[in-house]
Amino acid sequence: MDALLVGLGNPGPEYATHRHNAGFMALERIVARQGFGPAKSRFRGMTAEGRMGESKVLALKPTTYMNRSGEAVAEAMQFYKLQPQQVIVLYDELDLAPGKLKVKRGGGAAGHNGIRSIDAAIGPDFWRVRIGIGHPGHKDLVHGYVLHSFAKAERDWLDPLLDAIADEIGVMVEGKSELFMTRVAAKLAPPKADRPAKPERPAKEAL
């Protein structure tokens, strides 16, 4: 196995459409669009295997609940003898505007319980694909906000973003994080409108 893709979320149908499950949604879209194999229950989670270019990739959805995600990630890493830099974690990010995407390796948890759990289990040196969900405006509103379904209007930006992530994630697996972000942004850019033709100047009358 060359890479471990991890989506963060909470298991169970009651959580499936919550903002906190954006990582699960992204991983599910990747598995579907990249033609991964059938789902299997392993490593305290649900897994699927696939290939991206020359790389063999394991997709993992921990079923431990968010605050124990690191247990599943550590088990899969140990089994395949992977290093933290071979792990790519997709998750929701309050501090990014809705529909924005940021990628970085290492860093802090910024209050995200899933990332805090993974940090504790394997250290901080893994890749983070942060899916912006926006902030409700006050810290007291955060819990209810993330554990609530995306509004219908939000699907207008969420679905294209998940599709773009799924289509371009192979670039991220190759370690080309900047190119990954560039390609996702290009897929989401509105089409350029054709410039209207300049009106013809009237011919000057002969003197």
| 3-state SS assignment for residue 40 | strand
Best CA proximity match to 101, nearest among 90, 109, 114: 90
> Cα–Cα distances in Å, from 26 out to 10, 101, 141, 180, 205?
13, 12, 24, 15, 65
In angstroms, the CA 49 to CA 194 distance is 43
DSSP 205: P
Q: Which residue out of 18, 20, 112, 143 is catalytically annotated?
A: 20
92 within 8 A of 25, measured Cβ to Cβ: no
Q: Sort 90 into a burial class: Cβ within 10 Å, 0-12 / 13-18 / 19+.
A: buried
Continuous segment of H or E residues that includes residue 102: strand 101-105
Give the Cα separation of 23 and 61 in Å (integer): 9
**In this structure, are strands 55-62 and 45-52 parallel, antiparallel, or unpaired?**
antiparallel
Is residue 20 annotated as part of the catalytic site, yes or no?
A: yes
SS3 207: coil
Active site positions, annotated: 20
